[in-house]
Structure 1
């Protein structure tokens, strides 16, 4: 009986606004149940019950988390080619519904999320200055050689007799409680993990993109996990058919080898001018202070957004009928697993 579930996010309140990979994850499914504005406590119960039903049916479950507070947002049952997803009323993907709700708490939720986005965008501009220090001291030929060597090590001449596919997600999010990730969960059943070390601007994302494109072209299904702060960048690639993960193991998701087969790939050592950290220590320290200040302001706005939206949810909870909710849950289960 399956006892392993994947946990991840498909949306992020990022420096580029709210960016969702809903289509990448749900567009391929035969059956999709879309919920609109269900309170998170209800969604959690629905997802938990579906997971229990999945285990009883010998199926796996993929749990999707809300990027604001890490609550349950949905579930995918791969063996049933089906999924359930809840769109909060503040979600842009359900804006036509939210737009007709004349609710001050909901309006304030939007205001706070927009403010958080501006602070994240300001942090990205500061981060760009941080990157420029290392870009100016990069040996790009050395970085390209390291990528080629890693591709040879990970994929080599292996190919599969099928067309490779990519799916896009996030392994973490900037939540009201700060950065949170599911790297351990997503990689726990893999035999090999590569910890990519480096600095801002040292090409970790480019490194991962090259591996993802090569593996996909070779016929492998490729899980691509984007940076929750900047979705244009990649933070992890998983090739489950090869039982391999490669991920950006730097702050705010810094990990260190803990298994015998874990391996570090240090782009800074391989491709950056020696002692760059020391040479620019003063500038880097100042940049880090400004960057963390903007991230802190964004996190406070996310916390305010959650408080307002919690009030919205409390109002809706008070109006819910337990009997009607039970009927709805039964219909959802029947739709996913078949009546």
Structure 2
């Protein structure tokens, strides 16, 4: 059987607007089947059948999830250098027909998504205030040394005789059901996991970016997982050729060591002035309350968008001929598995 099946996202409704890493994941493939506006139930059948066949043939599988409701929206079969991806009607393509369709449910879907992003943006401004507390108490020299020491331990002088590559993704998403992640799926077959602990503003993302840049320069394929809330930040680096990952294991994706070789790297203890948490306890509590309130409002708007988009999909499904859809599924399946 294959060593692993990966689950991840390539899109996010973030505090900085709609973000997509479609190109990073699909431009490297020889065969790409692009579906436009297929109902999610049809996509799930197409993806599920490809996945089942790939696993039966002992191929690896990468399953791509929708950032709104966590449904399946794509699949990549690396051994075939082939993949399928669905672009929902609410996807923000520059020349999408959705923009000119006179469909009130679709208009309400866009309105819900835009409202959610406004609340996420408000939450990011609050989060920036939270970060300033720790930035003003940081020992940046100590943080830089910790990053250099970690790079030495993780990669050292190891290099590969090939050009490195970065692949950008999200391991989680802010969905209509709240924050979800696939860290377990992405790290289950790695021998070594480094858990980064810290606080907002303590440089966890900068720390991870330095490792990613060094690894790529050393010839490694580097999976770079961005923060779904703020895509400018990085939350995890995976180096499968070295069998390891380094990730930000703080809320909302807080994990703790559970294997013998798991290791914690604590930036807060190393580079933040003692008792910063205690000195700013009241201020931090107030910021957290405001932050969580905005996130809750955003989540509510995502659920609203999903309700309206369900109505759009019901309308589409009523017009689809089951036989024609079955024939299309077969053509897609054949194109994936007949590729080179």
TM exceeding 0.5: yes
In structure 2, stretches of 5+ residues that fail to align are: none
Paired residues, what number?
339
Alignment partners' CA distance in 2, 1:294 and 1:38? 32
C-alpha displacement at 1:93, in angstroms?
2.5
Say whether the 8 Å CA contact 1:3–1:55 is kept in structure 2: no
- Show the counterpart of 2:272: 272
Correspondence 1:332 to 2:332 = yes
Alignment partners' CA distance in 2, 1:100 and 1:318? 21
* SS of residue in 2 equivalent to 1:137: coil
* SS of residue in 2 equivalent to 1:319: coil
Change (3 A) 1:323 1:94: farther
- Show the counterpart of 1:148: 148
- Show the counterpart of 1:137: 137
Say whether the 8 Å CA contact 1:8–1:170 is kept in structure 2: yes
- Show the counterpart of 1:125: 125
What does residue range 1-339 of structure 1 map to in structure 2 within 5 Å?
1-2=1-2, 4-93=4-93, 95-338=95-338
In structure 1, stretches of 5+ residues that fail to align are: none
Deviation by residue 1:185-239 (Cα, 9 ceiling, x = unmatched):
0000000000000000000000000000001101111000000000000000000
C-alpha displacement at 1:304, in angstroms?
0.1
Deviation by residue 1:214-266 (Cα, 9 ceiling, x = unmatched):
01101111000000000000000000000010000000000000000000000
Say whether the 8 Å CA contact 2:30–2:81 is kept in structure 1: yes
Alignment partners' CA distance in 1, 2:2 and 2:14? 34
Deviation by residue 1:22-75 (Cα, 9 ceiling, x = unmatched):
000001111110001111111111111001111232211100000000000100
Change (3 A) 1:317 1:3: farther
Out of 53-62 and 235-244, give the one that drifted further: 53-62
* SS of residue in 2 equivalent to 1:264: strand
* SS of residue in 1 equivalent to 2:220: coil
Alignment partners' CA distance in 2, 1:326 and 1:3? 31
Structure 1 vs Structure 2 CA RMSD: 0.9
- Normalising by structure 1, we get a TM-score of 0.99
Alignment partners' CA distance in 2, 1:254 and 1:95? 39
- Normalising by structure 2, we get a TM-score of 0.98
Say whether the 8 Å CA contact 1:36–1:94 is kept in structure 2: no
Alignment partners' CA distance in 1, 2:2 and 2:261? 25
